[in-house]
Structures are given as C-alpha cells and as structure tokens.
Structure 1
Amino acid sequence: MHGDTMDLFHPLIRDWFEEQIGDPTDIQAKAWPHIANGEHVLITAPTGSGKTLTAFLWALNRLITGDQPTGRVGVLYVSPLKALNNDIQRNLLGPLRQLRHAFARERRPFPDINVSTRSGDTPQADRRRMVRHPPEILITTPESLNLLLASAAGRSLLPEITTVILDEIHAVFGSKRGTHLITAVDRLVLLCGEFQRIALSATVRPLETVAQFVGGYRLDGVEQYTPRPVSIVRAKTSKRYDLRIRYPDEPPDSAESVWDPVVEAVRKILDRNRSTLIFVNGRRLCERLAHMINTDAGGLIAYAHHGSLSRDIRETVEGKLKAGELKAIVATSTLEMGIDIGALDEVILIQSPFSI
C-alpha cells in the first residue's frame, strides 16, 4: 500500500522521502491518492502525523516536474496563526534544500521554488519585493488574504493559484473569522478560477459539516449552485492522555499572594521536566507569571510569548523552544495550534482555559 502510494511521486522525491523520513504515515498513504487525483480533501489527524507534508508534497511534486509553472504563486497556504506560518516556512525550506541536493547529485534540473510569508508582521519592503518577484508558495493568514484581495497589487499575486491549503480549520469553523475566510476563498475563485482545496485539522467535528464548509458551492449555469464534493480522510490513531487537575491550597495569610502556591506548584513541575509549556488566558497574566517564576527561581528559566511581543522576540522564543533550549515558556493562544515545538515533557493550563 505504502509503496504504491510513493509511486505517485517523481522517483527522486520518492527516494528522498524513503531515505529521510521512511514509510508514509497512515494519513499520508490514505490522502495522497485523493490529492494526486485533484480532489478537494479534508484531512483530520492528530498532531505529529505528518499532515503538513501530506498537504504540501504533491504540490512540490507538481512544481518540480513542471506540471505547475514557477515564477508565480501557485500554492496558497492559510493558517489562523502568524507563529504557525513562520514554522511552516521553516519546515518547507529544509525539505526543499534536501531535494535540491538530491537532484543535483543526479545532475537533474531543479526549479527555483521560493516560499514567502505575508502577514501584519511583513515589512513593506518585503511586500513590494513579493509583488515584483512572486513566490511559488505563499503562506498567509485569513486577514492578510482579505487584504490581498482588496488591493490591485495583492490581487496581482493570486490569479495563477491551483492549490489552497487551509490549516487548523477547526480553529475558525463556526466563527465569524471562518466565514470571512471561506468568503475570501470563494472570492479567489472569481479571480483565478477553480482550484484544489485541502483542509487540515487535528480535531474537528462533525466531519461532514466541516467538509461542506470547506468545499462551499460552485456556480453551475445561471443561478444554479451545487456543493463541491470533498473527500474526508481520517487517520486511525489513538492517543493516551495523562490528565490531572490541581487546586492549589489557599494561602494561610491573607496578605500572601494567591499566586504564590500556584508558582510553587509550577516550579516543582519545572524542576522535574526538561521542557514545559504553560498556557494562560491573557497577555498580562502571561508576563506576570513568567516574571514570578523567574523571581522564584533566581534566574531566567521561563520566557513569555504573546501577540504584543515583536516578531523577532516571538521567533527567537519559538526557535529556542523547538531546539530544546528553554526550560519553560508561558504563552497565550499564540502557541495554541499545530506549531512544531519539538519535544515537550508536560503542558500546564493555568485557570479554566477558553479553549483546549
């Protein structure tokens, strides 16, 4: 089954995959035939099952074989988090470098494939450069996609798109943000015609309703709309969770901070772990808790991560976390969805979370 799946790809891509990664995961083996067939697809699988590569590898195959022209944006990736976008860009550049070397060893041509991100953090100079020299793969957010569609310069990037990847679709499904996203995707159809839709999610229910949301309706004839069929691909995997709920003791002295026992409990967890991720509900608490942990430890062991920090600081913290160089990170929902953050020993939720 897996061997037959990999035969869909260029032989050197297949060889690279087998050498660097091994066998396809269950979700990859199931999804790639649907994607290669040009179907709209909703892929649901746990984090770490290879969903991102599942969505991108066939698009890379088309670019490398020449089925997808270069020199223009052909693949659009949309995620609800800027931090996730930066992570996706890094995770694409690595395989592209390896594939370029593999083709060079065999003296085979390899196209120039560029990957760019576009968000509120993107400097104006980079935005202008992007219009002059469009990347083959554009990574953006729902809000930035709407802004691109609203400007002539932005629209000039989009007419040749053949694949749209919607990541973490559960994060926007059923919300105003999700409605704006799908509206933007349908506006994109008016600009560049029909394209393949690939939606990814770790957790989403009900699948059939979400698939209909992703596919939307296609205009056939005059005032005749029909739903686009979307193939649902799900992984057969199970996870075991070690879940504990703790209620810190009330401070014996009313003058003592209610957070002191919380910090003490967190410090005990940090002492036994190599890397811990702590979620809180707001930016103010994020900064405060990180400061209290560091004060209690007598040194810098916990870093804060939230949307008000500069792009450089956020990316530095994310890089250190992924490299296993951080003892702890205190974050808001900026690190909530699908980011490749390396090996974690434990995740702590402070107070009742808005979402899990």
Structure 2
Amino acid sequence: MRFSDFHPSVADWFRTSFEAPTPVQSEAWREIGSDQDVLIAAPTGSGKTFAAFLCAINDLVEQSRSRPLAEGVQALYVSPLKALSNDIERNLQAPLEGIERWLKEHGETPSGIRAMVRTGDTPPGDRERMRRRPPQVLVTTPESLYLLLTSDSGRNILGGVRTVIVDEIHAVAGSKRGSHLALSLARLDALVGRPPKRIGLSATQKPIRAIADFLTGGRTCRIVDTGHQRERDLALELPQSPLTPVMANEVWEEIYDRLEQLIETHRTTLIFVNTRRLAERLARHLAERIGEEAVTAHHGSLSREHRLNAEQALKSGRLRALVATASLELGIDIGHVDLVCQVGSPGSISAFIQRVGRAGHAVGEVPKGRLFPVTRDDLVESVALLKAVKSGQLDAVMIPEAPLDVLAQQLIAEVSAREWECGELLELVRQAWPYRDLSGDRFDDVIAMLSAGYATRRGRRSAYLHHDAVNGRLRARPAARLTALQNGGAIPDHFDYDVVMLPQGFRVGSLNEDFAFESLPGDIFQLGNTSYRILKIEQGRVLVEDAHGQPPTIPFWFGDAPGRSDELSAAVSELRRDVAQRLDSGGPDAVQQWLQDDGVDPVAGRQLTDYLAAAEAALGCLPTRDC
C-alpha cells in the first residue's frame, strides 16, 4: 500500500496535519499492505504508531463506503501501559474527526468509526456502554485483553478482529507478562477463526528476529527496521560538591537547585526517577522553588484522575515540570517536552533511550537529556551508559521459555469460555512463541494439576477443570471462570491501601501496607504533591482530609529495585578495564584526557578517575568480568 492508495478523506487529513510521510511510514505502509504480519523498529518520534493505525482506519473507511460498519472490534491496539492506552485513544479522535469532516463536506455518508479504551481504569459505566455498543477500534492492555477473552461479552466484541497492533512490544517480551500476552493472542486467533494481521511496534528491539517470532508465533513476518539511532543531546549533570557513597542532604539541595535552573530555562521538563518515594520527594522540593502549580508527581500509586490531569497539564503548558517513574517511560504523547532529566542511572540502556525520547518526540526534533548521578558508583555506571548509547548498543530481550504458572492461568480462562479437546488445546498453546516447544508430557502434567487439585484435611482444593480422560476433553468446573477473572495477569500483587478523600469519598491514590500500618490518625503525608491528614485507618483504606499544605512526611513503597541489564553491566566492566589499562600505562592524567576526548565533562572525569584509581590501589585491580 502506498500513500496514494489511501481513501481521499484519510489522505486529506494526513496532508493537513503533516508535511509528508516519514521514511518509516512509507516503508511500513508498503509492508502492511501485504497479507503478512509486520514488525516496525524505528526511533521514538518517527511516526510508527500512526503508520500502523492509519492503515486500519483506512480499511474501516473503505468498508463504510459500501455498507454501514458492523458493531464490533476490527482494529485492536494493545499497549503495556494504561497511560499509553488512554493517550492513544485521545490522539485517535483527531484523525477520526478530520475524516468525518471531509466526508460531510463532500456529501458522503459518515464512516461511523468509533474508538474506545478498555483498561483497569475504565469506569463501569463506560464498560457497560462498550458492551451494549462495541466500537470498531479498541485500545487496551494485555491484562484487559485477557479479561475480555475470558468473558462472554468480551468474546462477542472481539469475534471480528482483523488487525492487532502491539505497541512497545519490547516492554513485555522479556517477562512472564509477555508470555501471558502471547497466549492471549493465540486465544484471539482461535476465537476469530482466521488469524488477524499482527503489527508490532518498538524503538528498542534486540534481537529483532526473536521479537518478530514472539509477535507472530513463528509465522512469516515482514520487518521494517530503520534502526534506533538518532541524534541526541546528552550530558552529565553533577553537583558542585564531590559525589560520595551516600549523598548528603546538603548535596541533594544542590541537585534541586540545578533542576530548578534547568526548569526555568526550558518550557517543559520531564524528570524521571527510579522510585515512587523519590518522585514525591523531588516534587515537594521543586514545588517549594517554582510553585505548587508548576510541578507535580506521576506514578502508579496515584489515582487515574490525577495521572490524566498531570499528563494534560503538561501537554497544555500549565505544568513547567513533571516528576515521573516508569509510568511515563513509553511513547505517551505529553505534548512538547524540551528536556528530560534522569536522576540516578535507570539501570538499562533501552530504558534510558526510551525516557530521553520523550523530549523532542515530534518528527525531526533532537531529544535533549541530562543524567544526574547520585553516588560515585552511579557516576561510573552513568558514564558507561552514555558511552553505550553513543556506540548504538541495546539491551537484549530474553524471552522466558514456557512459564507453566502463566500457562495454567490461561488454560483455566480458555476452558472456562468453551470446551476443548486436549490435543487441539495443546496446538493452540504451541502457537504462542514461548510455548512452541512445550512437550505433551508437560502439558498433561499441568492439566492433571488443574483437574485434580491438591489434597487438604478438608478435601481437595483448586480443581478448576474437569478432564474426560476417555474422550480427551476438557470443560470448566463452576468456580473456574470467576477464579480466572479475579486472578488474571502476571504483574505481582502489592497489598496497598486505598487513600480515600473525605467528605467527597473519592480515591486519590494508594499507600503501601507497611506505611499504613506505621501511620496514626493525625499524621500528615504527601501524595501527588498534595498534603493529606489521616482521619482513620480501616482494613484496606486510609481515610484522609486536605491538610492545606502543612509539612508532610514522604510515604514509602516496597517493591523490586530496578536491576542492571547485562549489556549495561558489560559496558561498566569495559569502562573499568579501559581505565585500569590507562592508569597502568599513563596514570590518572591519561585517564582524564581519554575521558575528556570522549566527551565526558572534566569534573565528572576527574571524580571518576580519582574514585577508580583509589579503588585499584586498595584492591589491587578494578573489578571487571575478567578480574
């Protein structure tokens, strides 16, 4: 398919909105026009999402010229983040409105295309409206897709899907969440009958052939690879005081002051941190400097309304800065961002590229990022990270091999929706790439566990399936579907307490269970840059009122610390090895000159050299993969 092949209403909207198609869009349209699946690998801000969506919208417009569009999803968009799903749904309204306007001006019948979003944040009223009148375009998450495939109403909505778009596919492929999604896509193929076309999108994919296999389950896949490299304005930012193993409060004040200077010299600044506690802490200190109306926090423990308002406030220019965790890491359109600051190494090359890509996200712009090391070891990792990005390295995605806990969950869900013959169900499972080599014996073991359960003093428990071994058929027991719906997904559960604002009664976010246990009525804490006073602590709920800006404590949340990727660890090892060689041959001056020639700030180079030289003198050698 070429641009000239689009319906005039679609082409007219595109021409009035953009100067011309980008190279990745032109190449993607040509491949999507074929009947095969397509994987698009291109830098952030290259227009790859619209490249996929415009073809699906064009197909719907062409259909509507010959007959009214049937109710039911034909284009399904799956993203790993709820915020990204909400953003895509909003951005789809512009082309749909432009197309309808063109059709009206030219006296043609409206297309009737409707787009809706279905995530865990979707209100019950919107879910009911979707059930009664399904849209043609549905934007959702892997977990919500699983729920739709497990419920009767959801299966009715998805029965006519023709195109599946999986965005930011690298973010799920390397985890059990990706295995869960692969099984959901295989279940969707079985539901539809004729497998829908799959289109995968990402800016950071390695190895790209493995990602293509993950997307398609091993079927033939066309790959559009324009690379991930682009011009970037990257630099280190260090406080005036030397870095230490643990940063003192006085040095943190220097970090806050420098962030204030950067915010004042840019229109909009996005600041990434690695923990929710640090997001709240930074937001508070920056609010004291630039005003509470100019900055706020954005993370997963804040309410949906707060997160959406923060995204729209930054997009409209009402916010000067937004402090976020990975909740804004992927391709969310939050308007024009001039600068991205990363406080502390993110521990991953791909994560840093994604985060810096939020700045200069439009076509042709240069992303600008500043990296703030917070300790001496963090400085070493940060220098290695910038060198790795400059040399074009990426983190490799390691796809898990047939996780059986995910398989058990999906088997219960699928059998609760319809009866299956065991051999046919095994073939369905093998269509998902992580389970391509699953043996019949392993499959039978999982079926035996799900059908027999386990013995307790009060009888057998967790027997969710009935296995007819004579005829080789499976059907669900009464509690199977409810269990599948209540325990779906591969994201670990955290026992958080909802924070409820009184007297209005609405939810403002959540607190970690341990923080709630340690708190007392009358305590004041901060959530989303707002102070709240605790009125009462109930089971699972913390009732609060507005504290009207009184000094708060910063909550804490327990969770998994971000690990360092293998590729970044190799880059750190290589940096230490190179520094050790130059220390032995030319001394500290040779190391500093080498770092300066490579673009490292002289102050950072001197601190790094002094730290590693002292480490080598104390240890006898610098720790690397070889020493």
Question: Same fold by TM-score, threshold 0.5 exceeded?
Answer: yes
Deviation at residue 243 of structure 1 after TM alignment: 1.7
Give the aligned partner of residue 62 of structure 2.
Answer: 65
Contact persistence 2:41–2:228 (CA under 8 A): no
Give the aligned partner of residue 245 of structure 1.
Answer: 236
Give the aligned partner of residue 195 of structure 1.
Answer: 196
Is 2:251 the partner of 1:290? no
Deviation at residue 251 of structure 1 after TM alignment: 9.4
Deviation digits for residues 162-187 of structure 1, max 9, x if unmatched? 11000001111221111111111111
Which one-letter code corresponds to 1:295 in the other structure? E
Is 2:26 the partner of 1:29? yes
Contact persistence 1:38–1:196 (CA under 8 A): yes
1:66-215 paired onto structure 2 within 5 Å: 66=63, 69-193=69-193, 194-215=195-216
Which one-letter code corresponds to 1:245 in the other structure? L
Equivalent of 1:231, from 222, 229, 233?
222
Deviation digits for residues 252-286 of structure 1, max 9, x if unmatched? 9x984552122112112112111110001111111
Distance 1:258 1:266 in 2: 13
Which one-letter code corresponds to 2:174 in the other structure? G
Deviation at residue 250 of structure 1 after TM alignment: 5.4
Is 2:315 the partner of 1:322? yes
Equivalent of 1:271, from 264, 268, 272?
264
Contact persistence 2:74–2:163 (CA under 8 A): yes
Contact persistence 1:251–1:257 (CA under 8 A): no
Contact persistence 1:10–1:61 (CA under 8 A): yes
Deviation at residue 57 of structure 1 after TM alignment: 0.9
Distance 1:76 1:11 in 2: 24
The 1:286/1:255 distance shift into structure 2, 3 A limit, reads closer
Distance 1:298 1:233 in 2: 45
Is 2:346 the partner of 1:349? no
Q: Residue 184 of structure 2 aligns to a residue in which SS?
A: helix
Contact persistence 1:76–1:138 (CA under 8 A): yes
The 1:255/1:167 distance shift into structure 2, 3 A limit, reads closer
Which one-letter code corresponds to 1:21 in the other structure? F
Contact persistence 1:43–1:234 (CA under 8 A): yes
Higher CA-based Rg: 2
Deviation at residue 192 of structure 1 after TM alignment: 0.7
Give the structure-2-normalised TM-score.
0.52
Q: Residue 293 of structure 2 aligns to a residue in which SS?
A: coil
Q: Residue 38 of structure 2 aligns to a residue in which SS?
A: strand
Give the structure-1-normalised TM-score.
0.91
Give the aligned partner of residue 10 of structure 1.
Answer: 7
Equivalent of 1:302, from 287, 292, 295?
295
The 1:341/1:299 distance shift into structure 2, 3 A limit, reads closer
Which one is further off, 235-244 or 207-216? Answer: 235-244
Deviation at residue 207 of structure 1 after TM alignment: 1.0
Distance 1:26 1:54 in 2: 10
The 1:27/1:298 distance shift into structure 2, 3 A limit, reads closer
Deviation at residue 301 of structure 1 after TM alignment: 2.3
Distance 2:190 2:40 in 1: 25
Contact persistence 2:204–2:228 (CA under 8 A): no
Contact persistence 2:43–2:227 (CA under 8 A): no
Give the aligned partner of residue 221 of structure 1.
Answer: none
Distance 2:275 2:249 in 1: 23
Distance 2:186 2:298 in 1: 34
Give the aligned partner of residue 224 of structure 1.
Answer: none
Deviation digits for residues 36-59 of structure 1, max 9, x if unmatched? 222200001112211111111111
The 1:300/1:13 distance shift into structure 2, 3 A limit, reads closer
Deviation at residue 329 of structure 1 after TM alignment: 0.4
Deviation at residue 309 of structure 1 after TM alignment: 1.4
Deviation at residue 242 of structure 1 after TM alignment: 1.9
Contact persistence 2:24–2:42 (CA under 8 A): yes
Deviation at residue 352 of structure 1 after TM alignment: 1.9
Q: Residue 158 of structure 2 aligns to a residue in which SS?
A: coil
Which one-letter code corresponds to 1:286 in the other structure? A
Identity of aligned residues (%): 46
Deviation at residue 155 of structure 1 after TM alignment: 1.6
Count of aligned pairs between the two proteins: 342
Contact persistence 1:70–1:111 (CA under 8 A): no
Q: Residue 244 of structure 1 aligns to a residue in which SS?
A: strand
Contact persistence 2:13–2:95 (CA under 8 A): no
Deviation digits for residues 19-51 of structure 1, max 9, x if unmatched? 332321101110112212222000011122111
Deviation at residue 70 of structure 1 after TM alignment: 3.1
Q: Residue 199 of structure 1 aligns to a residue in which SS?
A: strand
Distance 2:298 2:333 in 1: 15
Distance 2:12 2:292 in 1: 47
Q: Residue 188 of structure 1 aligns to a residue in which SS?
A: helix
Q: Residue 233 of structure 2 aligns to a residue in which SS?
A: coil
The 1:345/1:12 distance shift into structure 2, 3 A limit, reads closer
The 1:281/1:207 distance shift into structure 2, 3 A limit, reads same
Distance 2:17 2:337 in 1: 23
The 1:257/1:143 distance shift into structure 2, 3 A limit, reads farther
Which one-letter code corresponds to 1:244 in the other structure? A
Which one-letter code corresponds to 1:19 in the other structure? T
Distance 1:21 1:255 in 2: 49
Deviation at residue 198 of structure 1 after TM alignment: 0.4
1:41-56 paired onto structure 2 within 5 Å: 41-56=38-53
Root-mean-square deviation over aligned CA pairs: 2.0
Distance 1:237 1:313 in 2: 32
Distance 2:292 2:164 in 1: 45
Deviation digits for residues 88-110 of structure 1, max 9, x if unmatched? 01111011101101111110122
Deviation digits for residues 63-93 of structure 1, max 9, x if unmatched? 1111794311111100001111111011110
